[in-house]
Structures are given as C-alpha cells and as structure tokens.
Amino acid sequence: MESNLKFESQKLATWYFTVAAILFGAQLLMGLIAAAQFLYPSFLFEIFDFSVARMVHINALVVWMLYAMIGSVYWLLPEETGIETVGIKIAKLGFFVLTAAITVVVLVYIIVQIGPATESSIWLIHEGREYIEAPRWADIGIVVVVLIFVANLFLTAMKGRQTGIVTVLMADVLALAGLYLAGMFFTDNISIDQYWWWWVIHLWVEATWEVFVGCLLSYGLIKIIGARREVVEMWLWIEVSMLFGSGILGMGHHYFWIGTPEYWWEIGALFSALEPVPLIAMFVHVIYDWGKETGLKEAESKASGEGYHSMNNSPAFTWFVMNAFGNFLGAGVWGFFHTLPQVNIYTHGTQFTSAHGHLAFFGAYATILIGMFYMAIQGKNNISILKATFDSKMAVFLICFGVMGMTVALTIAGYGQVLVERAQMGATWEGFFVSQDMMWFVQGIGWRLAMGIVTFVGFIYLIKDLLTTSKNSIHIK
Ligand code: HEM
Ligand code: HEM
Ligand SMILES: [Fe+2]
C-alpha cells in the first residue's frame, strides 16, 4: 500500500515493525514445537531437538522486541522533535545490514544447530548464552548498527525540540545499548560468565526496557487520549527514578546460588521486593490519566455541543491498558512470588520461573509493542480515528487469554514440581524425573500446549487485522 507518511523516519519504523511481527510469529511456532516435545519427546528428535527449538524461541523473542523498540524510536522521534531524523539514509542502510545478519544467524541456528567445542563455534554458530546467543561476528555487526541508531537519536534530539520523553529515551537507549557489551566477553568460569550475563538480561528487562516502556506509555497517552504532557512527563520522571532505584540492586535475586558472595541474599531480597512498586505506579498512571483526561474532555465537548471521541486509536489503547495490567501481574506479582531467597531456594529454575518469564515478557513488552504496531498502522493509513474491529478484539482476547492460560498451567505444573522434586525429594536427580512424570505436572504441560495454540490463533487474527484494519476506520481528507 502507498505510504502516507511524511517522515522517512516513520517509513523506516514500519520496516522495523514488519520484521518484528514476522519474528514474533516465528517465535510462537518454535514455542509450539518445544511445548509439543515436552509431551512427545520423540517429536523431531535429532532433527530439530528441544534445545534448538527453545533457543530459537527465546532468541527470536528478544530480537523481535528489540526490532519493535528501535522501530518505536524511529516512529516517535520526528513527532517529538518536530524534524526528520538526522542521518536517515545511513539508518536505512543499517536496517538492511542488521536484517541480513539476523537472517543468516537464524538460518545457521536452524540448519547447522551446533558446532564443536572450540572458539570457532562462538564466532560462527552461537555463544551458548541464553536469550542472547548471536555468534560473535553478528555481535560486532549488531554493535555497529546500534551505534548508528544511537547517533540518529542523539543528533536528532540535539537539533530538534527536546521533550522530556526524548531526554529520558536518550539516557535510556545509551544504557540499554551499552549493557549489551557485558554479554560479549568470553570467560571459561561459569560463575563469572553468569554474573555478567545477568547485567544484560536483568538490567534490560527490569531497568532499561521498563524505562523504555515508560516513554512509550507517556507518548501513547499523549497521542491517543490527548493527555497533558506536563502531567505525563512528571509521572515519567518519578517512574524512572523508582525503576532504576530498585531495578539495579534488584539484580541480587539472580546472585543467590551462582557462586557469588552471600551478601546478595539480603540485597537481592530487599531491592527486588521493591521492584513491584514502580510497576504499580505505572498502572495507576495509565488508569488515572485515562479517567481524568477523558472525563475533562467529555465535559468540555458536551458544553460546546460537539461530537466527542475519547480516544483516536482503540486497538492501540487496549494494548496499552493490557500493558499496565500485564506488567503489574507478570513482572510485579509473579516476580514477587519467587524473589525472596527463602522461596527461591525451592522454586529456582522450575516451571514456576517459566510461568513468570512468559507473563512478564508478554505483559510488560509484547503488549505495548503490539500497541505501537497499531500506532504505525494508523499513521501509515492516515486514519484519524482507528476503531476496534472484530479481528482486533479476537486478537486481544485470544492472545491475552492464551498467555494467561499458559501462565496458570505452568504455575500449577511448577507447584507440583517444587513440591515433589524440591520439598519431598530434596532436589535430587531422581526427584527431577519423578516430578516430570507426576500427573499435575503432565496435565499442566498439556494445558500449556493447548493455550499456546489459542495464543497462536490470536496471533493470526492480529496479523489479519493489521493488514486490513484501515477499512473500518474514519479517514481524514
Ligand atoms: C518485565 C520485567 C521482567 C521480565 C521480562 C522478567 C523475565 C524473567 C525471565 C525470563 C526469567 C528467567 C530467566 C532464566 O532463563 O533463567 C526471570 C527470572 C526471575 N525473575 Fe523476572 N522478569 C521481570 C521482572 C521481575 C521482577 C519485577 C521480579 C521481582 C519482583 C522478578 C523476579 C525474578 C526472579 C527471582 C527470577 C529468578 C527465578 C529463578 O531463580 O529461577 N522478575 N525473569
Ligand atoms: C505459542 C505460544 C507459546 C508456547 C507454546 C511457548 C512454549 C515455550 C516452551 C516449551 C519453552 C521452554 C520452557 C522450558 O525450558 O521449560 C518456552 C520458554 C520461554 N518462552 Fe515461550 N511459548 C509461547 C509463547 C511465548 C510468548 C508469547 C512469550 C513472551 C512474550 C514467551 C517467552 C518465553 C520465555 C521468556 C521463555 C524462557 C523461560 C524460562 O526459561 O524461564 N513464550 N516457551
Ligand atoms: Fe531479575
């Protein structure tokens, strides 16, 4: 379709969003394969092993989210600063280089899968670090493209209007990109390796990505319901200070049992237990602003006798609200469940962790990034009021119900696992296998697969809606 976008930066954003959506689909398919292998261990055995399906599942997850995050910055930057992104040509080149590299990496994961235990595998196949396994050649390429991206952001922000959102984004993106370096070094000591690996994983999802979400929430509230910038940006500053305050030392909850000093028990317990506080603040922020701003405007429009639309993009707003709920539930509640060392000694590395991992990544990030897909669809098709459709509602319902269902199923499986494998059988090798055959565990794993299929059907509705949505909406001009 012809694009109506006047900024090249926003065109580039739609490319990033498109690749993100494709990788999201690939992620879900890999999840389904891995989930089926839990129940039918011989499924694709030695052709496409569980370890490979799982690896592609979670690496695709991280990459599609990073793509959607980069896309979001290129999307909102010209609107916030009032100017075209500086260095947009090289930014586009960066997109092609990155996408070509990612394609090669994924093909190697799928076709080559594993290599010899030498350094050549780290350079050419993958690094064996959960979530961020890109081989070293690709790591270096990623760093170069991300430097271009950071330069685009900084140069544009310095030349154009500087809003609070852009200022926070500048600091945040610098930290987010810089942390990636902590996951690139090689050491043959697994404790040291994990120590630094958590700097990337934890400080991404519980500090820098959360701040990023704060920026998107602020932007979305201003654009969709016309919230006032002063109010929204004030919240943003408060959230940023709280997120960094608890998130940085909260990292201690990963340092309980990996050979790091014991003082991390107290530090991790205290600061990670505080982490839900900013998530509650974000939740209140969205709901409060929504109620207040729409109430005010409704009164105004009644007084003037004009027709009133409380929001100009219902699907995007629905996903933004899902984000407020999901972030609080997945990260805040499910995170808090197992964050004290007294609890974590039993739950560590069980399906309980997986339940939290799913709901947190989904609730905190997938939701709001899908919301940004809808912002881009609205802008690209020049739609003044984007309404919800049958497909968009089915997508929200099936995806959210599916992921929530998977989370509940995994929580039940994890509960049984903790009880039998850890509490009764004392974390022994035998305990592991006994708990894997337990009825509660197997049924939970079965429901996870069923709910995964529900999620995937929702994803198909989502794509269908994104591709056809402009038809049901009110256009300007
Ligand atoms: C959106 C934010 C969050 C995301 C995306 C997230 C995601 C994850 C994931 C994927 C894991 C598993 C890591 C692995 O593979 O070993 C994990 C572990 C963990 N998370 Fe979170 N998390 C978030 C926020 C939180 C919060 C706020 C808390 C605490 C209140 C928390 C507490 C924990 C703990 C204690 C573990 C370790 C579990 C274990 O020992 O097995 N998380 N998180
Ligand atoms: C079709 C739906 C999905 C299915 C069937 C599925 C299945 C799976 C399976 C089987 C694993 C391996 C678990 C293990 O090693 O015990 C896994 C891991 C994971 N998946 Fe999914 N998944 C799906 C969707 C998602 C979504 C939507 C997200 C987040 C947005 C997600 C995030 C993760 C994460 C973070 C892990 C690693 C968890 C950990 O190690 O603690 N998955 N998934
Ligand atoms: Fe963490």
Query: Distance of CA 439 to CAs 354, 423, 444, Å?
Result: 19, 17, 8
**Ligand nearest, relative to CA of residue 417:** 2
- This prediction has a pTM of 0.96
245 CB contacts (<8 Å, ≥6 apart)?
274, 278
Q: Which atom of ligand 1 is nearest to the CA of 332?
A: 27
Cβ atoms of 90 and 148 within 8 Å: the answer is yes
* CA 66 – CA 62 distance, rounded (Å): 6
Q: How many residues does the chain have?
A: 477
| Maximum pairwise Cα distance, the chain | 74
**Which H or E element spans position 78?**
helix 50-81
* pLDDT, position 304: 74
Candidate from 52, 358, 368, 401 with most ligand 2 atoms within 8 A of CB, to mutate = 358
Question: What does residue 385 show for φ and ψ, rounded to 5 degrees?
Answer: -130, 110
Q: For ligand 1, is residue 344 a contact (CB within 6 Å)?
A: yes
Count of CB atoms situated within 10 Å of the CB of 263? 10
Pocket, ligand 2, Cβ cutoff 6 A: 28, 31-32, 34-35, 38, 54, 57-58, 61, 353-354, 357-358, 361-362, 366, 403, 452, 455-456
> Which pLDDT does position 73 carry in this prediction?
98
What pairs with residue 475 in β-bridges? 383
- Count the Cβ atoms, other than its own, within 10 Å of residue 221: 25
474: three-class secondary structure by DSSP: strand
Of all protein residues, whose CA lies closest to atom 43 belonging to ligand 1?
Answer: 357
Which ligand has its closest atom nearest to the C-alpha of 206? 1
pLDDT tens digits for the chain (477 residues)?
A: 456 799 999 999 999 999 999 999 999 999 999 999 999 999 999 999 999 999 999 999 999 999 999 999 999 999 999 999 999 999 999 999 999 999 999 999 999 999 998 999 999 999 989 999 999 999 999 999 999 999 999 999 999 999 999 999 999 999 999 999 999 988 889 999 999 999 999 999 999 999 999 999 999 999 999 888 998 999 899 999 999 999 999 999 999 999 999 999 999 999 999 999 998 888 888 888 888 887 877 787 777 766 666 789 999 999 999 999 999 999 999 999 999 999 999 999 999 999 999 999 999 999 999 999 999 999 999 999 999 999 999 999 999 999 999 999 999 999 999 999 999 999 999 999 999 999 999 999 999 999 999 999 999 999 999 999 866 666 654
- CA 419 → CA 78, 284, 333, distances in Å? 54, 36, 21
Q: How far is the centre of ligand 1, averaged over its atoms, from the C-alpha of 284 (Å)? A: 22
Return d(Cα 356, Cα 338) in angstroms, integer. 9
d(CA 409, ligand 2 centre) in Å: 12
Which H or E element spans position 393? helix 390-417
Retrieve residue 413's tokens: 């499986």
Q: For residues 5 and 11, give the distance between their C-alpha atoms in angstroms, rounded to a whole number.
A: 7
Question: How far apart are the CA of 402 and the centre of ligand 1, in A?
Answer: 20
Q: Identify the DSSP state of 275.
A: T
pLDDT of residue 360: 98
Instruction: Answer whether 132's CB lies under 8 Å from 59's CB.
Output: yes
Write down the pLDDT at residue 477: 43
Number of neighbouring beta carbons within 10 Å of residue 226? 15
Give the per-residue pLDDT at 293: 81
